[in-house]
Homo-oligomer: A and B are copies of this chain.
Amino acid sequence: MTLPLPGTGEPSLPEAPASGDMPPEEFRRRGHEVVDWMAGYLAEVGGLPVLPQATPGEVMARLPPSAPEVGEGFDEILRDFRATILPAVTHWNHPAFFAYFATTGSGPGILGEMLAAALNVNAMVWRSSPAATELEQLATAWVRQLVGLPEAFQGVINDTASSSTLYALAAAREALLPEAVEEGLGVAPRGRVYASSEAHSSVHKAVITLGLGRGGLRKVEADGAFRMDPGALARAMAEDVARGVRPLAVVATVGTTSTTSVDPVAEVAEVAAGHGAWLHVDAAYAGPAAALSELAHHFQGWERADSVVLNPHKWLFTPVDCSILYCRRPERLAMAFSLTPEYLRTREREEGGATDLMDYGVSLGRRFRALKLWFVLRWFGAEGIRARLREHLRLAALLAGWIEDEPGWELVAPVPFSTVVFRRVEEGLSPEEEGRLNLALLERVNRSGEAFLSHTALGGRVAIRLAIGNLRTGEAHVARAWELLRAAAAEREVAASLA
């Protein structure tokens, strides 16, 4: 494919002037070039290899080891972007990106991000950008209504679900281990957090960061469909309490990373409430699907949570990064994090009425992330968002049907959302051999550049994940990935029979 690439053929401008910023007229001209490139990229990204054929160290080796002494022309910078960076980019905006969780940096989201970059505000306190603060409150309220969470939940935007979960669990620790607030965990009873064995690794990272130790997370058994077993949770909590451990929080997941399984949140909430523990719901990926009435059953009980994380940068078409942390009692977050030095005191804060969003997390610096989210919500509209989510569900169900109908392949988990988890099975293979086979098929498909899928392990057995979430993904892309997988398996069979 030939993308309309900028900076070709034109004479290079003189170097950057010795003072000030790039001159506005050059910025305008370069901006138009870059937009043309971006539009071409978004139109034609499907023709690029999703996963690049790069080897570790290759990019660094192709670039100078030091910054230039004298500023360079923008043509040179774009030339290297095109020649060296682009061939080593994994194309997350590609319609056949099916790895991890597929995402979309959508057109309206990108345009919002462009404006935010030009404004370059920091929404740490209300005064440091009233519009950024209030649009964050508004856009998160819009999403809250879209997904049907109660009005009591107030949202703040963080970079990632990892941070959102860390902040939620910090609030839980501060609330439930008041003995530790002044002198630290050393003078408090031992606290613990509970999550299923299928919960995201960020929960464990948060627990470690909070000083609870690697053993501060107790992983609760999941059932055959990879859902937390509320009975096992109740037993684990009771056992710990009997040993003097104080349960701080339970993390329930709606849409786990491996299989997008759904913990029985209502039952988990009941168990958590019995111990007065904080309930955090990780709906980072699946949360937007709560906008669909036919999926309401997956979200039953999440309204009982103390906090919920939902990432618009996953399945809500918003460029990274944008993670919403909803908190039923945001003052609990502020209790954990509010420390206002004199240089951040403002009249609006002291006289009341203004919210300083820095109080709800660790990061003082806060980009104007609400702008892109607000652009996405307005441009697609609630109806448009629901239609697009439903299309992804339809594609996933279609693939699941093909897999079920095909001998030698099996679905290994239910498909509640837009991610399908499956494997190749062949008679007489040990789990290790089967694992190697599935990884080899996956690698073969990924190396083709036509699609990019990832894998997981379930009960010690490898499985292939195909996650759908990009707005450019159509039925043909899913069908082609499936065809590539079957072809790879068939070739292996032929090779084995000839060997």
Contact = CB atoms under 8 A, between A and B. Distances in A.
A430 to B, nearest CB: 18
Interface residues of A, number: 177
A320 B122 contact: yes
A77 interface: yes
A38 B92 contact: no
A449 to B, nearest CB: 13
A256 to B, nearest CB: 10
B212 A209 contact: no
Interface in A53-83: 54-60, 63, 65-72, 74, 76-77, 81
A39 B391 CA distance: 38
Contacts of A55: 353
Contact of A16 (B182, B339, B354, B381): B381
Contact of A379 (B52, B77, B106): B77
How many copies the complex holds: the figure is 2
B126 A56 contact: yes
21 contacts: A21-B106, A24-B42, A38-B118, A52-B130, A56-B348, A63-B138, A65-B138, A67-B146, A69-B382, A85-B371, A86-B131, A92-B121, A100-B122, A103-B120, A113-B114, A180-B213, A182-B215, A205-B339, A205-B362, A321-B367, A343-B457
A49 to B, nearest CB: 12
Given A77-B375, A162-B362, A185-B211, 6 more contacts: A19-B388, A67-B378, A72-B378, A77-B378, A117-B319, A166-B209
A270 interface: no
B134 A119 contact: no
The winner among A143, A185, A214 for most chain B CB atoms within 10 A is A185
Contact of A32 (B32, B58, B76, B129): B32
B383 A142 contact: no
B456 A343 contact: yes
B384 A18 contact: yes
B378 A68 contact: yes
B60 A381 contact: no
A257 B212 contact: no
Contacts of A159: 159, 321, 363, 365, 367
A342 interface: yes
Contact of A341 (B201, B206, B313, B377): B201
A337 interface: yes
Interface string A148-191: 00000000000111110010001001000000111111111111
Given A105-B118, A186-B190, A353 B56 contact: yes
A135 interface: yes
Nearest to A15: B381
* Main SS class of interface, A: helix
The winner among A126, A320, A387 for most chain B CB atoms within 10 A is A320
Interface in A125-139: 126-132, 134-135, 137-138
B339 A201 contact: yes
A163 B85 CA distance: 27
Given A258-B343, A382-B68, A454-B343, A213 B183 contact: yes
Contacts of A344: 201
Contacts of A143: 67
A488 interface: no
A247 interface: no
A41 interface: yes
Contacts of A109: 117
A99 to B, nearest CB: 8
A214 B166 CA distance: 18
A415 to B, nearest CB: 17
B60 A137 contact: yes
A54 B163 CA distance: 30
The winner among A81, A103, A108, A365 for most chain B CB atoms within 10 A is A365
Given A120-B92, A204-B339, A365-B313, A378 B76 contact: yes
Interface string A235-275: 00000000000000000000001100000000000000000
Nearest to A30: B111
B362 A206 contact: yes
Contacts of A142: 66-67
A213 B190 contact: no
A490 interface: no
A224 interface: no
